[in-house]
Amino acid sequence: DADVTQTPRNRITKTGKRIMLECSQTKGHDRMYWYRQDPGLGLRLIYYSFDVKDINKGEISDGYSVSRQAQAKFSLSLESAIPNQTALYFCATSDFSGVPQHFGDGTRLSIL
């Protein structure tokens, strides 16, 4: 079984819809992250959480929200999706070092 599981793997939806991307991990790590990847732009941090009670905005948090339901679960929501949020989204975890070492397989999100 994968250490970091993202669901769904692919999603196509329409502008204005609410979308939730889910991430669960079996590493027992406290720290979890959401990134988006766009061609030529690398990975940009959306939100991160150092423990269940700690949520922090990343570089590009506008238009996104997150929920840390438990140590193992960290969900990303798009309240009202827009086409420029079309991207590949990765969840990652890390130990106390703060170095993401375990990435999920990604969710490819297309917003029409």
Partner 1 sequence: AQSVSQHNHHVILSEAASLELGCNYSYGGTVNLFWYVQYPGQHLQLLLKYFSGDPLVKGIKGFEAEFIKSKFSFNLRKPSVQWSDTAEYFCAVNARSGNTPLVFGKGTRLSVIA
Work out how close the CB of 41 gets to partner 1 at its nearest, in angstroms, rounded to a whole number.
6
Query: What's the CA gap between 59 and 62, in Å, rounded?
Result: 9
Query: What's the CA gap between 50 and 12, in Å, rounded?
Result: 30
Should residue 97 be labelled a site residue for partner 1 when binding is judged by CB under 8 A?
A: yes
The nearer residue to partner 1, 19 or 43, going by C-beta atoms, is 43
Query: What's the CA gap between 6 and 35, in Å, rounded?
Result: 12
Evaluate whether 46 touches 56 at the Cβ level (below 8 Å). Answer: no
| Piece of 7-15, 20-28, 33-41, 68-76 that binds partner 1 (CB under 8 A) | 33-41
**CA proximity to 46, closest of 63, 22, 71, 30:** 63
Q: 81, 87, 93, 104: which one contacts partner 1 (CB under 8 A)?
A: 104
Q: Applying CB under 8 A, which residues contact partner 1?
A: 33, 35, 40-45, 48, 50, 56, 58-59, 90, 92, 96-101, 103-106
